[in-house]
Amino acid sequence: MASIASSISELEEMLQRVSAANRSQTLGGVIDLFLQGADRYRPEHIDLFDKVLSCLIVEMDTKELKALSKRLASCAKAPVATVTRLARDDDPSISEPVLLQSLCLEDAVLGDIARTKSQSHLLAIACRAKVSAVVTELLIERGDDVVVRYVANNPGAEFSEAGFLALVKRSKSDGALAEQLKERKDIRRPQRQKQTATTIK
């Protein structure tokens, strides 16, 4: 691990001398080094990678950022600041891979993105394997019909009482959503009865 930390530090120092033309190659080398041992790194080593990557991506173009997002998306120990930077990107093609898959994104970050970014960003969050009740409330509040239907159909999405009631309200003008809600196995009986009564009206 000491040698790894030394290598990262050397890379960090070299950044000041790397030309724009070589930054892409350097980025690829850093990512390769990180992914080869991500499961073994201690938090301080991951922080070092995070600092290096944060410097490198400043001048990366869209193609390079998309590639980086795809490579880090499925890594359970990805550098948090870097992944968060990618998730907040205004370009959905860059943010989507990490929004869909990354386990490193906290609810506070997902919630902020759900409040401020595009419907494409919201749709990616709605399709995550797990979506907390706090985040689903925001998706229901800001999402268009497509986003809301996806989150309602997501078996890994959790809903608060307020979230369910908001879904029921929207389902009154959306027959497809109403059918999806009937299929949710996690709706408690009182909620299901409330939904049925509301739909009939």
Where along the chain do its domains lie? Answer: 1-83, 106-201
User: What is the predicted pLDDT for the residue at 171?
Assistant: 93
The residues, ordered by sequence, that sit 6+ positions from 78 with a Cβ below 8 Å of its Cβ are 38, 72, 98, 102, 104
Residue 198, SS3?
helix
pLDDT along the chain (201 residues), means of 10: 58 61 73 86 88 83 93 94 97 98 97 98 98 97 97 94 92 93 69 47 46
* pTM reported for the whole predicted model: 0.83
Q: Which residues pair with 157 in a beta bridge?
A: 131
User: What is the predicted pLDDT for the residue at 48?
Assistant: 86
User: What is the predicted pLDDT for the residue at 193?
Assistant: 47
Q: How far is CA 198 from CA 139, 148, 183, in A?
A: 22, 18, 16
